[in-house]
Chains A and B, each alone.
Chain A
């Protein structure tokens, strides 16, 4: 009987029998529905991907203002969208390693200044044109020219020259960078025919899907295409839909009632309740995103390191992780790096809530006792206002007069963040330490939101970048992290987890710390088991 059941469950996995039929026949053989389903799930996983069907993702972070132009992609829904039709030269795997994707291989010069990306042959764009190194060059030019509005402009800055040499796309850097292949995995840099110069939002790329319908702020639909070059790894479903569900309750209800297969951003306060539902499971992945309070270290009173240290000792990290993240996260150590990064030094001492030390540093700072104004809004990160109140209370115990000024969500990123000297903020993290530090802690960085300008730090960053020996790099990064932890304007109490909800009939799910819902690739990498 058991053998017969197993054969049947394999049939289901291969699509020769429906799930309902299987449960019915299993019941006839005296097996309970629960056991039958469990058997089905395990055989489906073992049998590998199921093709066909429609997979629906309910995602927050979409608006009617969205476009398909990868250069302007900044939130979750547009990111999930462009992954359907676009691909990058390289990809970062869930374990942090690099995978060569549209680039077949990557060769650095000995000094890590010149990089040759050998472009894969025989890859067709969805319009039938074959991808060439020229298309890659044009794409990179579009993201790096002076008129570019691209979010990848910061990454492209260090590039001195780019050219095509036979099958290779060659990048020459101003200064050496061992992490360049990681930078090329940035989602803005989707390779488009002719670089997408004429119509970047047309959705023509090397991805597994083409756009079927595109209703910004409502839903986006994608159809699998036949001439996809790598069908063993991507594009198992016939259709894929991304539904814009910004309201957290609507999102959870849609998952529970089976209208979508996956949702992103499950609220920490409902995650454990949702996990009890029988037909789905909650996936929590610790990532690199962090919730922070940032102080401009060039503005009084934050130009005084004792005051900054006083504030760092006056925040109760454990309490914040418990109450704001409901345990779905981990404590931070005032540096933007955690164990999710390769080359992280886990021997650096963890800073904890210490009233005595906070008092000591506060006294040493000679602050006049006037209120220290902290600007917050829930737009900075979910629960930011509550987190600030907890911070205020724990600081009060150390005699530090923190005053909270609540700002509107609207315009927070333009009026408060990077403008006001002390405010709440959020960072999504980057795949490697170099990129994180370059984006926000290099003296010349546009997003240097703590005004951290230290020549010696910049030098270390450049040295680590040029260093191809990982042990030495780790040592330098450790020093940089400690420097930032002890002197920086960054108060980093917690790293947040990515919490997703996934229906049990979804196959191919893997935890990916690089971003929400499998780094927004769940739509193209997962499949539906009972189609």
Chain B
């Protein structure tokens, strides 16, 4: 078999194994949480009788192993079950939330990835001169400030003082694309500021690393301009590390934006997960956990595969 195909097959298999391992961890983790869903649903208004009634109704008395396999079986058939707390179908309510999360992540990525790479290229082009220092300074500052603080500051100036964008990024299906984009403009801005520095620095470092190579010297001696050297010779060879960091940031945009979702009241998956964790709504927590794990595993897998494909030593086996 071609070594690339073999590597790819191995990588795919590993991803599936990881996903199963994650499902076990998620199930065990949710099972050992203190308290139970019946208690949490009823809260302070729980009477022993109401509790017992609710527990029986929710099937909390079955053994855990049986519940794990029942759950896994359902998931494999695409059935995530129903939320214990309000009896809604999880796939249905999660679907809308997932679309919202992807919508926000998509626009944040669309703004931040090209911007980060462009800024990285500019930084390399003007290495150690003022544009480089300015770009690094701004991005490093923005990554050092907690994201909720950036959110609050933008909210105060842009939404409350200037009234340019809404502070509540609540989107729904009846809005037009333009209205939706207006609604998410602030969270997208915050997310861009948060992920920009990481991607920009990595792009800069990767390209600088390549720039040390002998063939770059050759290209320079050929008389190409610095920008041409970067674009034609350095950048393609730096793709693997850049893709890696981009994928990591994309994963963050999907699973790590809980704080932003809370601050801007964005109806995404993070908020949904947090609500259900505090209510011990185990099926929902499991479903979210599994989706988040899958997003991480798939994006990392894509990064690995791109690295493998981009590696000339594997592309041209001896």
Residues of A within 8 A of B (CB): 58, 63-67, 72, 74-75, 146-151, 153-154, 201, 213, 215-219, 243-247, 249-250, 253-254, 256-260, 409-411, 413-415, 417, 446-447
In the complex, which residues 212-241 of chain B have their Cβ closer than 8 Å to any Cβ of chain A? none
Chain B residues whose CB sits within 8 angstroms of the CB of A254 once the complex forms:
167-168, 265
Beyond the given A64-B93, A254-B167, could you list 4 further A-B residue pairs with CB under 8 A, ordered by the A residue number? A64-B272, A218-B267, A250-B265, A413-B39
A250 touches B264 (CB 8 A): yes
B86 touches A149 (CB 8 A): no
A151 touches B45 (CB 8 A): yes
Chain B residues whose CB sits within 8 angstroms of the CB of A245 once the complex forms:
168, 265
A243 touches B34 (CB 8 A): no
Chain A residues whose CB sits within 8 angstroms of the CB of B44 once the complex forms:
74, 413, 417, 447
A147 touches B53 (CB 8 A): yes
A150 and B45 CA atoms in complex are apart in Å by 9
A249 touches B155 (CB 8 A): yes
**Secondary structure dominating the interface of B:** helix
Chain A residues whose CB sits within 8 angstroms of the CB of B48 once the complex forms:
446
A319 and B171 CA atoms in complex are apart in Å by 44
Known: A217-B267, A244-B265, A250-B263. A67 touches B85 (CB 8 A): yes
Known: A243-B265, A249-B263. A74 touches B45 (CB 8 A): yes
A65 touches B279 (CB 8 A): yes
Residues of B within 8 A of A (CB): 33-36, 39-50, 53-54, 57, 83, 85-88, 93, 152, 155-156, 159-160, 163, 166-168, 170, 172, 262-265, 267, 271-272, 275-281
A216 and B86 CA atoms in complex are apart in Å by 9
Q: Name the distance in Å between A460's Cβ and chain B's nearest Cβ.
A: 24
A254 and B159 CA atoms in complex are apart in Å by 9
A149 touches B50 (CB 8 A): yes
Q: Name the distance in Å between A298's Cβ and chain B's nearest Cβ.
A: 18
A376 and B49 CA atoms in complex are apart in Å by 27
A263 and B72 CA atoms in complex are apart in Å by 42
Chain A residues whose CB sits within 8 angstroms of the CB of B35 once the complex forms:
410-411, 414-415
A-B contact pairs, 7 of them (CB 8 A): A63-B279, A72-B42, A74-B44, A154-B47, A218-B172, A219-B172, A447-B44
Q: Name the distance in Å between B113's Cβ and chain A's nearest Cβ.
A: 28
Minimum CB distance partner of B100 in chain A: A218
| B265 touches which of A150, A247, A413, A446 (Cβ 8 Å) | A247
Name, among A66, A218, A413, the residue most crowded by chain B CB atoms within 10 Å (CB to CB): A218
Chain B residues whose CB sits within 8 angstroms of the CB of A67 once the complex forms:
85-87
A247 and B263 CA atoms in complex are apart in Å by 6
Chain A residues whose CB sits within 8 angstroms of the CB of B272 once the complex forms:
64, 217
Chain A residues whose CB sits within 8 angstroms of the CB of B49 once the complex forms:
146, 153
Q: Name the distance in Å between A196's Cβ and chain B's nearest Cβ.
A: 14
Chain B residues whose CB sits within 8 angstroms of the CB of A246 once the complex forms:
262, 265
Known: A65-B279, A250-B167. A215 touches B39 (CB 8 A): no
| A256 touches which of B41, B47, B160 (Cβ 8 Å) | B160
Q: Name the distance in Å between B46's Cβ and chain A's nearest Cβ.
A: 8
Minimum CB distance partner of A410 in chain B: B278
Give me the 3 closest cross-chain CB pairs, A-B, nearest first: A65-B85, A411-B35, A414-B39
Chain A residues whose CB sits within 8 angstroms of the CB of B279 once the complex forms:
63, 65
A66 and B278 CA atoms in complex are apart in Å by 13
Minimum CB distance partner of B164 in chain A: A257
A150 touches B50 (CB 8 A): yes
| B43 touches which of A74, A219, A247 (Cβ 8 Å) | A74
B50 touches A243 (CB 8 A): no
Q: Name the distance in Å between B12's Cβ and chain A's nearest Cβ.
A: 34
Minimum CB distance partner of A449 in chain B: B44
A218 and B173 CA atoms in complex are apart in Å by 13
Q: Name the distance in Å between A435's Cβ and chain B's nearest Cβ.
A: 13
Chain A residues whose CB sits within 8 angstroms of the CB of B54 once the complex forms:
149
| B40 touches which of A256, A259, A411 (Cβ 8 Å) | A411
A437 and B308 CA atoms in complex are apart in Å by 71
Minimum CB distance partner of A154 in chain B: B47
Q: Name the distance in Å between A78's Cβ and chain B's nearest Cβ.
A: 10
Q: Name the distance in Å between A521's Cβ and chain B's nearest Cβ.
A: 20
| B160 touches which of A148, A253, A415 (Cβ 8 Å) | A253
| B159 touches which of A148, A253, A414 (Cβ 8 Å) | A253
A215 and B172 CA atoms in complex are apart in Å by 10
Name, among B86, B163, B272, the residue most crowded by chain A CB atoms within 10 Å (CB to CB): B86
Minimum CB distance partner of A259 in chain B: B168
A1 and B206 CA atoms in complex are apart in Å by 75
Minimum CB distance partner of B276 in chain A: A65
| B168 touches which of A63, A149, A243, A411 (Cβ 8 Å) | A243
Q: Name the distance in Å between B45's Cβ and chain A's nearest Cβ.
A: 4
Minimum CB distance partner of B174 in chain A: A213
Chain A residues whose CB sits within 8 angstroms of the CB of B34 once the complex forms:
411, 414-415
Q: Name the distance in Å between B283's Cβ and chain A's nearest Cβ.
A: 12
B170 touches A218 (CB 8 A): yes
A364 and B43 CA atoms in complex are apart in Å by 38
A410 touches B275 (CB 8 A): no
A414 touches B40 (CB 8 A): yes
A247 touches B50 (CB 8 A): no
A409 and B277 CA atoms in complex are apart in Å by 12
Chain B residues whose CB sits within 8 angstroms of the CB of A147 once the complex forms:
53
Minimum CB distance partner of B264 in chain A: A250
Minimum CB distance partner of A428 in chain B: B44
| B42 touches which of A149, A253, A259 (Cβ 8 Å) | A149
